[in-house]
Every structure is written in C-alpha cells, then in structure tokens.
C-alpha cells in the first residue's frame, strides 16, 4: 500500500469508529431497542457496523451498548453469523458518558481519527465515512451535515420566528475527530447543553468543520423509517 | 349536517386549498418538473390533490402551475381520467407571486379558510389537513411543523454554532390561514425574506401558530424521495 503524500515516511493515522447505541426503544412504541430491529432480516446495528467495515478506511470498531444488552448482542452475533471484529463497551447514563466509555479504550496516539456514529444510522455511505476521516485528518474534525430542505422556525419565548433556511444545517453522524481534540473535550464535566459530540468539542474551544452529509443517512426513529431503510439498503 | 357550536346558526367557513407547483425539476436532475413525476403510475400532483379531496374539509382546489405547463396538465388529466374538480391558475416569478395569483380567485369572505400546500407533498394526511383548517378557524392560522430529529447548527459569519434541538421546528405545508390574514399579507410588496407563506403573514404583523405536522409529509426533492413516497402511498 502506497502512503499518501501527507503521510510520506510514516503510517497513516489509525482509524476508529465508536458506534453508540443508547436507545431504549420507547419512542418507537417497541419493546426491542431500535438498534436490534430488523432490516432485511438483520439487526440495524449490524448494517451500521457493515457500513464502516465496507469503507476504505476500514476502522477498528467499538460498539457501545447498555450493559444489560451485551449478552443479547452476543447471541444475535452467533445467530446471524456476524463475524466483523469489534470491541463491546458499556453505555453510560447519557450519550456523553457512553462516548467517553468508548474513548477510554482508544489507544493514545493523538493523530488517530475517531468517528462517532449513531447505531441507528445504518445508511451512512462509504464515501461519506471516508470523506469525514480524511477531512478530520486535515482540519481536526468533520461533522456530517445537510442543508435543511424545509423552512425553519425557532422557538423564542412563547412564539416562533423564521430563520433563513440557507443558514441552517441538520447535523448527522458520523462526527469524526482527531483523537487529541476528543480526549481534551471529554475531560470536561458533563453539561446538559451537549446535544451531540460536536457540541462537546466546540465547548472545549475547537472550531467545528462540517462535511457534506447525505439526505438518505436517516436516523431510525419511527417504525416507518425501517421500511425506508429497507428500501435504500435493497438498492 | 349539524353545524358545530362555533358556527351555530351559520354555515361553516368555506375551505380552499391553493396547491402551488413552481418547480422546474433541475434539482432532481430530471427534465420533467417534479410535480409531474409518477408515483404508482400517477403524477405526484394528482396524489396531492387527492389528499385534500379525501379530507373531511373537502376544500375547493386551486392549482397554480407555470403557464407553459397548463396544456400538458390538461392532457395528463385526460390520460389519467382525473376527475377531481379544480381551478387552474398561472404561477408567477416566485412562490409569493404564485400564491398571490391563486388568492386572486378566492371570493372575499374574510372567514374563509385557505390552505397553501406544496404540489410536491403528496403524503399530507387527511388528519393533518383537517386539523390545520380547524385550528386556523380558531387562531387565524395553522402552520404544519415537526420538531427536528437531528441536531441543528446555524451559520454565523464564517463558522456554525449549535442550537438547542428542542427549539427548532421544521416547517411543512399545509400552511392554513383565515382569508382576512392572507389578503392583508399579500398586499405587501415582495421581499426576498419571504421563505414561505407563514413568513409573509408574520411580516404583516400576525402571530404564527404551529400545528403538529407529520414526519412522512416529505417534499419530493430528490429521485430517492419518489421511492419513499411510493412506499408510504402503497400502505
């Protein structure tokens, strides 16, 4: 393998993917958490892991799951003959704590690149995943985002005001960072304002850089989304 | 028919739907404008008209189309044996002008209720359509909106900042108004800040009221959306 010019004379940075499954499934009205629901007969989470495994970056994969689902996951892997190597880590109280638990097992090379990804976004394309690793090597981070297709209104006191649509980005995952940024950011105490991984890194003082996401890269939230995912994963 | 208490002793307000098709199709990479693309073998616009026709409100329907597509639409109606009664009006330079042209043929009862709807949102449910008419009778308007499922970032100068997701609404159509509000609002001169119908009415000084939209009520923007629409309209 030829090293890219940027890394001439040295190994390219190691890549990791922390795939976070925190969901309890209540919003779907299902008992089974969303990450275990089936798309074409296979759990959502396996499709998500495969998306990263298929990418050229081929990262080392760390799955974060609530501890009471670890043995269930092991059983699913046997049942579905799922062979992609990955570490399994226990989820915490919030997404912040879950990501932090995943980060704890990433070795300390500050130039390593870490994608954080929702377990319930199985449709992320290999092109997006690779572009995010590549940009984060250059700029420190890369946050998948698309422009809103809808007009936007913002709650202000007891009314709403319109925003200029062109100024609004809908944020997805992967959110990919150089390890030094992540390690510094996740030393901060937890703050309720942390809505996603980018907001944690932003709070630590790093500039956030967007990378073009994909409209198909939906988050499985409602049962209807499963049918949509099945449609796109069948293509 | 028993009049509701609100309208005891008088007819309920007349209902209208202005269905606006301005699209040129360039974003889809298709030559045919999006509103004429087929879902289950039938043009998108016909599905949209049917959604309103199926609602309990059963509004009088006004379709706004660029003038160079009027004869094509007439041919499509014959070809598809499409019998739902509607007026056909010429679109203008922007959505503002198109809506204004539609409004011009709505008779002057100030309590009439007018839904403005994107031709390329064929999945609007009858429940949403009726709820919007009902709320607009009470409050003056009803703008279909859903909470964002994604985190949001807002462009500020050369960077982006995170917003609290719970404060952000993605705005859909129908956007339904009492006629007196619409007529007053569309007397204003055109302003580039008019991103949707609510922003026009807001600029005229009326308070905007949201009504719970539907996540499935997507705007057909990319070819992949047609497959999604086919999936949901098949259910």
pLDDT in tens, B2-12: 434 454 556 66
**How many CB pairs lie under 8 A apart between chains A and B?**
114
Average pLDDT over residues A97-119: 96
Which residue in chain B is spatially nearest to A198 when comparing CA positions?
A: B162
Interface contact flag, A170 B162, Cβ < 8 Å: no
Q: What contacts A192, CB < 8 A, 6 or more positions away?
A: none
Nearest Cα to B60, choosing from B6, B19, B12, B8?
B19
Highest-pLDDT range among A27-36, A42-51, A155-164? A42-51
Which residue in chain A is spatially nearest to B234 when comparing CA positions?
A: A227
Residue with the larger pLDDT of the pair A133 and A13: A133
Query: Which residue of B150, B157, B161 is the best one to mutate when testing the A interface, meaning the one whose CB has the most A CBs within 10 A?
Result: B150
Q: Scan residues 140-179 of A and list those with Cβ closer than 8 Å to B.
A: 143, 145, 148-155, 159-172
Contacts of A158 in chain B (CB under 8 A): none
For residue A223, the surrounding DSSP H or E stretch is helix A223-233
What's residue A167's pLDDT?
84
Average pLDDT over residues A85-92: 95
Contacts of A228 in chain B (CB under 8 A): 228, 231
Q: Decide if pLDDT at A31 tops 80.
A: no
Interface contact flag, A145 B153, Cβ < 8 Å: yes
Q: Does B217 touch chain A (CB under 8 A)?
A: no
Residue with the larger pLDDT of the pair B61 and A233: B61
Query: pLDDT digits over B122-159, tens only?
Result: 999 999 999 999 999 999 999 999 998 888 998 887 88
What's residue A183's pLDDT?
96
Is there a contact between B140 and B181 (Cβ–Cβ < 8 Å)? yes
Which residue in chain A is spatially nearest to B171 when comparing CA positions?
A: A151
For residue B43, the surrounding DSSP H or E stretch is strand B42-43
What's residue B23's pLDDT?
54
Q: Which of B160, B167, B231 sits opposite A154 (nearest CB)?
A: B167
What's residue A235's pLDDT?
54
φ/ψ of A146, rounded to 5, equals: -125, 150
What's residue B28's pLDDT?
47
A11 exposure class (CB count in 10 Å sphere: 0-12, 13-18, 19+):
exposed
What's residue A171's pLDDT?
96
Interface contact flag, B164 A195, Cβ < 8 Å: yes
Chain B nearest CA to A155, separation (Å): 5
Q: Extract the tokens encoding B36.
A: 């004429």
What's the predicted TM-score (pTM) here? 0.86
Q: What contacts A149, CB < 8 A, 6 or more positions away?
A: A215, B219, B221
Q: Does A126 touch chain B (CB under 8 A)?
A: no
- CA dist B29 and B51 (Å) reads 26
SS3 per residue for B109-163: CCCCEEEEEECCCCCCCHHHHHHHHHHHHHHCEEEEEEECCCEEEEEECCEEEEE
ipTM of this predicted complex? Answer: 0.82
What's residue A12's pLDDT?
67
What's residue A97's pLDDT?
95
């Amino acid at each position: 393998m030829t090293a890219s010019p940027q890394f001439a004379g040295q190994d390219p940075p190691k890549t990791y993917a922390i795939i976070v499954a925190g969901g309890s499934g209540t919003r779907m009205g299902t008992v089974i958490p969303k990450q275990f629901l089936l798309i074409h007969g296979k759990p959502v989470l396996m499709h998500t892991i495969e998306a990263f495994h298929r990418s050229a970056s081929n990262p080392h994969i760390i799955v974060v799951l609530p501890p009471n689902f670890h043995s269930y996951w092991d059983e699913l892997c046997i049942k579905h003959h799922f062979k992609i190597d990955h570490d399994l880590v226990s989820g915490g109280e919030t997404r912040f704590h879950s990501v932090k638990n995943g980060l704890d097992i990433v070795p300390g090379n500050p130039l390593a690149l870490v994608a954080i990804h929702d377990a319930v976004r199985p449709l992320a394309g290999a092109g997006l995943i690779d572009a995010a690793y590549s940009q984060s090597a250059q700029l420190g981070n890369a946050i998948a985002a698309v422009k809103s297709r809808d007009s936007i209104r913002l709650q202000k006191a007891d009314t709403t005001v319109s925003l200029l649509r062109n100024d609004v980005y809908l944020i997805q995952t992967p959110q990919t960072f150089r390890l030094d940024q992540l390690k510094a950011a996740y030393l901060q105490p937890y703050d309720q304002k942390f809505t996603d991984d980018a907001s944690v890194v932003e709070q630590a003082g790093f500039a956030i850089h967007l990378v073009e996401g994909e409209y198909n890269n939906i988050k499985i939230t409602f049962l209807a989304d499963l049918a949509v995912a099945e449609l796109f994963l069948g293509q």
